[in-house]
Amino acid sequence: MPLPGEVVQYIGFSASIALRRAARQSTQEGRRTGLWPRPLGGEPETLLIDPYRPEPLVNFDDPQNHARMEQALEAVQAQLGKHYPLVIGGERRERKDQIRSYNPSMIDETVGTVSKAEPSDIDDAIAAGTEAFRAWSRAGGEFRARVLLKAAANLRREKFLFSALEVYEAGKTWPEADGDVAEAIDFMEYYARQMMRLSAPVETYNLPGEEDEAFYIPLGVGAIIPPWNFPLAILCGMTTGAIVAGNTVLLKPASPTPVIGAWFVRLLEESGMPPGVVNFVPGDGSRIGDYLVGHPEIRFVSFTGSREVGLHINQHAAGHADGQRWIKRVVAEMGGKDAIVVDETADLDAAAEGIVSAAFGFQGQKCSACSRAIVVDEVYDEVARRVAERTKRLTIGAAKNPANALGPVIDASAERKILGYIDQGKKSAQLLAGGGKAADGGHFIQPTVFSDVAPDSALGQEEIFGPVLAMIRARNFDHALEIANGTEYGLTGSLYSKRRDRLERARYEFHVGNLYFNRKCTGAVVGAHPFGGFNMSGTDSKTGSPDYLLLFMQMKAVAEKL
């Protein structure tokens, strides 16, 4: 879909000086979220949209919602096994080599197949992105924001279908799948509004006899490499944040969940995204990963995944290839070893509930998951007892069954890795709950709790990314805080305490990007909890924040002598 000619000129820096002055002099009133000059010669226009609000979660206890989800599961089941091609410059492209996506709850069930991109496809996709960038980058923030708002509305209408697909392809339970889809809607709604704000001219001071201005421009063609654990929300946030800022991208979805990525690209196309803005290039990381990251025409890389892969990408992108004219920008989120700290003044029931929810939601396959519960000695045994009791009551089985609190882990490799950590734990700590596989037919692992874990052990230091909780005994609050900060990660953390002095101390000394008091350490909400971590948890990108889009733009200053 070519961009209208007038839209290409619809950006502030191509408008007249008079319009730019008018934009500077305008103020935000009421529900106004952005100021936009009309195409050349027009008057400034105010765009009125509702204030941002997070998408409500679905109540599946409502019989009507329960029935809609059942219908969606049946509808998606009828589409299982379909094939999805590459999408480059809006054109579908088939490849003989394919990725088979399967249901981790039922490993013999194929969700779909997708074509694998080759290096030559990466070259073509970069060329398509470069061509699309010329018009898309100049289309204006309002136009790009409207595409996101349309996509959010379309996704809202298809919410149950996308949730059902996540149940099949990612093994998410109904509430986890719904939460993921809701967050994707939130990202698009929020980033659309932020782009409207950032499209207004930057406030500058005019020197005598000069017209001085500054404005944001996009970077170019980038690589989007999202994870499988939030296969729609994170993929959507990473992709739409980059494109609403005016960039074009190559989207390489995670191999366990590529069908969700294909559905999302289709959604964007149906919402008015022009060809070449998002190019869908699934494939093996070993085959195309380094080629994509190191390509001289890639301007930035946005990555979410493991520490090991993130560090490799950062190092590889830092190199200079022949023909490369820029220092590549890397935005990375690389996991965590997150802790919930409980002191002797805490509400122990609330703490135990928060620990279990944060440790085992989506089978512990969250970078924000509580993998360490650090409890002061005075209440340690009681908290451990309550955590173990709650864990043993959790039901596990096929994610399609709403009675199950936990579904499968994502694939055989994850299953082997997690069971390996459990075997280590049995040799070095006390097993309180779980400790092995839960059922046959899928990648099911019992939610597992170990007590008296050494802070410096593998269970206390390494990201397991599965349903394994290490309970660590601390002498007192000072010791608990020391243990909490004693890893190379710094993503999320939580403190349960009734003492204001300790909450205030933790506010500054508990060194994580997202800190919570008297609640669990998972469940960040777009616009409320800017998300991103310190240290080896990544570049602290702060998704869902007013600053996020700036990672994909650069400021240009222009001075004109009058």
What residues are labeled active site?
Answer: 333, 367
Return the C-alpha torsion angle 402, 407, 410, 412, nearest 10: -130
Please, what is the Cα angle at 184 between 312 and 391, to 5 degrees?
Answer: 80
Residue 534 corresponds to which tokens in the numbers above? Answer: 């310190």
The set of residues, in sequence order, having a beta carbon less than 8 Å from that of 80 and lying 6+ positions away, is 103, 109, 110, 111, 112, 168
CA distance 166 to 187: 18
* Residue position matching structure tokens 């990612």: 170
Burial 402-441 (b: 16+ CB within 10 A, else e): bebbbbbbbbeebbeebbebbebbeeebeebbbbeebeee
Sign of the four-CA dihedral 166, 448, 446, 416: positive
Nearest to 33, CA basis, from 148, 149, 237, 195: 195
Phi-psi region of 548 (alpha: psi -120 to 50; beta: other; left: phi over 0): alpha
Contact 537, 491 (CB under 8 A): yes
First to last CA, the chain: 40
Contact assessment for residue 275 and residue 90, using Cβ atoms and an 8 Å cutoff: yes
Return d(Cα 551, Cα 562) in angstroms, integer. Answer: 33
What are residue 192's phi and psi, to 5 degrees?
-60, -45
What's at 11, amino acid-wise?
Answer: I
